[in-house]
Structure 1
Amino acid sequence: MRARLIVLLLLQGPLVATWAQNKNSIGMQLVPIEAGRFYMGSEREGKDYDESPVHRVSLSKPFLMSATEVTNAQYEAFDPAHRKIRGKNGFSTQDDEAVVFVSYREATAFCDWLSQKEGKFYRLPTEAEWEYACRAGTISDFSTGSSLPGVYQKNQSTNRNTAVVSLKVGQTPANPWGLFDMHGNVEEWCLDWYGPYQAGPQQDPVGTASGLYRISRGGSFGTPVSFLRSANRSAMIPEDKNWLVGFRVVQAPLPATNPSSVKTAAYGSPVSQKRYSWKPADAEKPIFREPQRYINKPDCTHPIPFYSHNHQPAVTWCPNGDLLTIWFSTDEESGREMTVLSSRLRAGASTWDEPTEFFKVPDRNMTGASLLHDGKGTLYHLNGVETDGDWQDLAMVLRTSTDNGVSWTTPRLINPEHTKRNQVIAGLSQTKEGWLIQPADADPGPSGGTAIHVSRDGGKTWVNPYTDPQTPGFGAGETGGLIAGIHAGVVQLKNGDLLALGRKNDIQAPDNSGLRMPMSRSADMGKTWTYSPSPFPPVWSGQRLVLTRLNEGALLLVSFTHHPDERTEKLAGMTFQSADGNPYKGYGMYAAVSFDEGKTWPVVKLLTDGKERYLNGGAWTGAFETDQTHAEPKGYLAVTQTPDNVIHLLSSSLHYQFNLAWLNQRPMAPAGK
């Protein structure tokens, strides 16, 4: 059987000249890989679209590749300080386990050190060299065929808490060319920038000339099997380092090939850079415009990765008068295919542009994003970036734009640790001192509270003022280090305190009439918070509130009246007042306005103009009807107010426009009331 396999591999491509392995000065075994040709990529579509087109690649020179990933002992011969983080999060404690928590630059620095030490050229493999060596003469999904036998698998699933397993190298069978751990164990940095494949035959490709992310290959011990395929492409921000990624090396000169140019397809019209002259609307004239969809499926001719589940918007206004919104698009909220899309409502336009891809680290979950225009021409974008799927262990990334969101700075890790308290919430705000405040869920669960991140220097440096690891139960009168409730909205009060409202961690009303949305207040910029019940009903699953300060100075809360009663399964509404002073029951999205810094909320209004209409809120909302007593039943909300004082509220798929004068106007009594 083995003889037939060797004959077959010889027919398909070159085999290793000899099974004998060289060993270098730090005990690294090197396997000779001969020159040859192979088919790179796959014809998979959807989330694996970046593996196309399949193209024939020729590697004109042989090279030596390390038989295993670089181990702790080998790496620490170069960087002894790394030993201090062995076992971080429980991973990779032994000398012979694959080294992890190494960035791209640290991996290349190791190669430079080893080159100088031995007088031979060491480097990371190119992406083409890596796939060629992984395939080892095969054209199937794995070097083992169309499936990966169980002996190669460890914890091949997306888990919120990744199971700790041994990362000892060389414990599974080698591939036909004598290389170990090419399918799994840890992902491996490659030399190339991440970029699109070029069609047609290529020789010694080295990727694109520039980019935002560096390629990683092979999948890890804690990812689904599909990410362990020979053709699967992943990538990371070069400064990122975590427990899933290590590297192996090659000994060979750099290919003399020139990198390819980066070609980015542009869709839609160019974005105007002319500063817009806002004309404030008549403050006394009520405005409520017809709701419209801002998420529209792109034309099928545009290769935009648009998935079935579109959710979690953020929105801001631009100096040129446009509105810019972003949201995630995915098939599963814990999926690695999740990307961040954007759309634009151009100044004077009545419909939103087709979506385009806004931000995507390949094969990483991108849960949580926010946008803010600082009023001086700079747009801020913050986003979470996972190690794999789920949304617990996120790092936080910042980008800025000074050209109305056309181009953005290189993604910068402002909290590089993949951990809790980094799930970004739409609602980035600016204090009267000019500080930036970014709320972020403190836990992936439904009731873990909200942390804040604060920058006092325009986003250059950030601190998390949370100090108390033993947060109490968020009861009335208690004090803790987190905001009560997830998905919280946060505003600064005129006296400098912070006020927040959140979902879950509900507090009993003073008269014991039921649970209320929790209100949190901090007098020390988020280090500690005190809790009390608000006058509003709890926020439920599929719902996210917004809390903001209006240009006019008042505070605005938008939330939802109801959630399913567990006993009756009926929807509970709220009592509203009509223009003639009579109460009536209403259901769905409402707005509340406070003119005294959150002490009282005299304006509480259902967010509907009374017109009967059919709408679809997308995501978890779906289809619904509006009328005098019914508004959108649930959704994730985001808000911005343009300089003309129009309030732009986004739910999971719909754009609402109204102003304070409309909110102050009591509605007519519903028919029959």
Structure 2
Amino acid sequence: MKAIYTLVVAYFLSTVGFAQSPNSIGMPFVPVPAGRFYMGSEGEGKDADENPVHRVTIANGFRMSATEVTNAQYERFRPEHKALRGKNGFSKEDDEAVVFISYAEAVAFCDWLSRKEGKSYRLPTEAEWEYTCRAGTVSNFWTGNTLPQIFQKSQKTDRNSVVVSLKVGQTPANPWGLYDMHGNVEEWCLDWYGPYQAGEQQDPVGRESGLFRVSRGGSHGTPVSFLRSANRMALLPDDKSWLVGFRVVEAAMPATKPLPVVTSAVMVSQKKATWRPAPALVPVFSEPKRYIRKPDCSANVPFYSHNHQPAVTWCPNGDLLAIWFSTDEESGREMTVLASRLRAGAAGWDEPYEFFKVPDRNMTGASLFHDGKGTIYHMNGVETDGDWQDLAMVLRTSKDNGATWSTPRFANPEHTKRNQVIAGMFQTKEGWLVQAADADPGPSGGSAIHISKDGGKTWVKPYIGEQTPAFHAGETGGLIAGIHTGVVQLTDGRLLAFGRKDDIPGPNGIGPRMPMSVSSDMGKTWTYSASEFPPVWSGQRLVLYRLNEGAILLVSFTHHPDERDGEKAGMLFSDAQGNTYKGYGMYASVSFDEGKTWPIKKLLTDGKERYLNGGAWTGAFQMDATHAEPKGYLAMTQTPDNMIHLLSSSVHYQFNLEWLKQLPVAVK
């Protein structure tokens, strides 16, 4: 197959006279003629940003590097980059595509090369890149509507990246003499990412500004559909990974003016709320309500089948702001972060809108936190591609009730483990921000914390040592036992955490218990013990929260009545008459002595029979006196009026501490 393609390309090049011409550092260039083409596709869902198909004229010919820039070529400019060769196993040799390059570093190389040779070198515009990739075709790939196996490397979503050679020019060139336009490494383009404009255009250069810079071509580790000629990707300009490199063009900048930025501002009241707590000793439990609503089709909000993993905070104007991911697959690149508001005084939640999305990147893990002084923090994971192992951590802030947000910047730029953000950021008594994150993408393996002592400007990872392989009572390690952890600071400065899995046997032969971790050195090391609570399992995420009143609240789940321990499933609760009964599902427990004892344990139901749908992995369930929501991912905030707002994967619960203190009437 390779021989056939090589012969066809060689014949084509010989007939049209295109020939490679290297420059002074050995970069081969081929001429690209002026012309017209149809840019984009009629994509839907995750590919909707390829719409509309529009006719583009490339007014002047230019020269493009036949291959991606290699290590040897880039290191003529920046020799110190050689220290990154082989990072994560990739790109060790001189003739492999250079990776771990940010947008600014790619631009700086072009500027250096321009000065060195006295010519105009730059990154290609997105239009120039697609025009050159297509090479006169209108199909999915320049090879047709399928990509032959010879062009493919590890074209699937792998949790652990498959190391392959990134040697350039090892597959046939397209009809215009360009190699590796489908795969090998993604390539930075000049443009800010933004929606296409309909109608005929000449030499488009994208938008005036934006949050992300375009990348094209897909990489060695992405599904084939992301290698299509029309597929659009983008990254934060400072991002760098083993998937992304670049190639250059020799051409003057087009004289075209960039398109204006498209904004979709959320209308948010800036009037400061007046909070009125419920009268003393008055218990409150409001009717549970869905906060995730399917948007109207005309809104063009990317809403997928799986909506899960919420975070929530209150705003100074009295609104509640909730976010969650929406996706078809939890490892999918289509994953986006949506948001909805329960506006002050409103009966129901708004329709959702897109809150944060890096194009074609998995966005697993998010948190929200209001510092009580007007600043709202949003932390989010951003993957290199799909799955949720190799996440970087990105932070944004808002000082206007979430109407606008600062430019996203990296809290941790390394795409690695220990960065899967967990809802529940909080502030210590010292004023430090603490963000917990899963240490492993699997069902166990512990959690880590990240700390900022300067209001989110810089973050440190206090944990020491490698990942703890097991968590045993009385032992000490560098990670919290259990994933999806909840963390609070105790009044003596120590940290207390509970987590899912990594269970510890209870005393006197009691079965596995939820692990409890305590740190006396602000997260460097943790000591483990068995708590009195049952383990948290698949489809469940607990919350641990310091209430305004000073007590510590844990919300978690009993065993599923149909999954584990048979007749032992569930927990024993007490009613107002002093009788015990077995209850199932979500419960709350309160400690008034810094986690030493937990005298309140209450099933989160008001006893009323109702049908609810928890969405995500929960689905439909019946709530009654002995059954609460069976599982879900939890997030929580408490407003200044002392109302507790608890979100599961789909349902909003609202109650107060006084209601938790009140035992239910006789339960049968």
Query: When the two structures are superposed, what TM-score results if normalisation uses the length of structure 1?
Result: 0.97
Distance 1:63 1:616, change over 3 A: same
Shift of 1:570: 6.0
From 620, 628, 632, give the equivalent of 1:623.
Answer: 620
From 569, 574, 589, give the equivalent of 2:571.
Answer: 574
Distance 1:283 1:135 in 2: 70
Asked if the contact 1:17/1:33 (under 8 Å) is kept, the reply is: no
Distance 2:188 2:6 in 1: 34
**Residue type at the aligned position of 2:194:** G
After superposition, where does 1:637-656 map in structure 2 within 5 Å? 637-656=634-653
**Residue type at the aligned position of 1:528:** T
From 286, 289, 299, give the equivalent of 1:289.
Answer: 286
Q: Per-residue CA shift, 1:46-98, capped at 9, x if unaligned?
A: 11000000000001010000000000000000000000110001000000000
Asked whether 1:463 is paired with 2:489, we answer no
SS at 1:499 equivalent? strand
Shift of 1:4: 13
Q: Per-residue CA shift, 1:480-538, capped at 9, x if unaligned?
A: 00000000000000000000000001111112111100000000000000001111000
Asked if the contact 1:472/1:480 (under 8 Å) is kept, the reply is: no
From 534, 538, 555, give the equivalent of 2:535.
Answer: 538
After superposition, where does 1:598-617 map in structure 2 within 5 Å? 598-617=595-614
Distance 1:22 1:654, change over 3 A: same
Asked if the contact 1:327/1:341 (under 8 Å) is kept, the reply is: yes
Asked if the contact 1:587/1:629 (under 8 Å) is kept, the reply is: yes
Shift of 1:283: 3.0
Q: Calculate percent identity across the aligned residue pairs.
A: 76
**Residue type at the aligned position of 2:90:** F
SS at 2:378 equivalent? strand
Distance 2:472 2:434 in 1: 24
Other-structure match for 1:519: 516
**Residue type at the aligned position of 1:609:** D
After superposition, where does 1:485-496 map in structure 2 within 5 Å? 485-496=482-493
How many residue pairs match? The answer is: 664
Distance 2:6 2:597 in 1: 83
SS at 1:288 equivalent? coil
Distance 2:567 2:55 in 1: 61
Unpaired runs of 5+ residues, structure 2, are none
Distance 2:8 2:99 in 1: 34
SS at 2:128 equivalent? helix
Other-structure match for 1:430: 427
From 443, 455, 460, give the equivalent of 1:446.
Answer: 443
**Residue type at the aligned position of 1:44:** G
Distance 1:93 1:443 in 2: 27
Q: Per-residue CA shift, 1:335-391, capped at 9, x if unaligned?
A: 000000000000000100000000000000000000000000000000000000000
Distance 1:473 1:441 in 2: 15
Distance 1:244 1:174 in 2: 20
Other-structure match for 2:594: 597
Q: Per-residue CA shift, 1:406-436, capped at 9, x if unaligned?
A: 1000010110000000000000000011100
Asked whether 1:509 is paired with 2:506, we answer yes
**Residue type at the aligned position of 1:117:** K
Unpaired runs of 5+ residues, structure 1, are none
SS at 1:667 equivalent? coil
Shift of 1:670: 1.7
Shift of 1:569: 5.5
Distance 2:228 2:364 in 1: 25
**Residue type at the aligned position of 2:79:** P
Asked whether 1:330 is paired with 2:330, we answer no
Other-structure match for 2:226: 227
**Residue type at the aligned position of 2:553:** L
Shift of 1:566: 6.1
Asked if the contact 1:565/1:571 (under 8 Å) is kept, the reply is: no
Distance 1:553 1:628 in 2: 28
RMSD: 1.7
Distance 2:164 2:282 in 1: 64
Other-structure match for 2:175: 176
Distance 1:480 1:220, change over 3 A: same
Distance 2:469 2:633 in 1: 27
Asked whether 1:134 is paired with 2:123, we answer no
Shift of 1:563: 3.0
**Residue type at the aligned position of 1:126:** T
From 475, 482, 491, give the equivalent of 2:479.
Answer: 482
Distance 2:419 2:385 in 1: 15
Asked if the contact 1:9/1:138 (under 8 Å) is kept, the reply is: no
SS at 1:111 equivalent? helix
Distance 1:430 1:293, change over 3 A: same
Shift of 1:17: 5.2
Query: When the two structures are superposed, what TM-score results if normalisation uses the length of structure 2?
Result: 0.98
Distance 1:588 1:564, change over 3 A: closer
Other-structure match for 2:50: 51
SS at 2:611 equivalent? strand
SS at 2:81 equivalent? helix
Shift of 1:262: 1.5
Shift of 1:571: 7.2
**Residue type at the aligned position of 2:97:** A
Distance 1:4 1:522, change over 3 A: closer
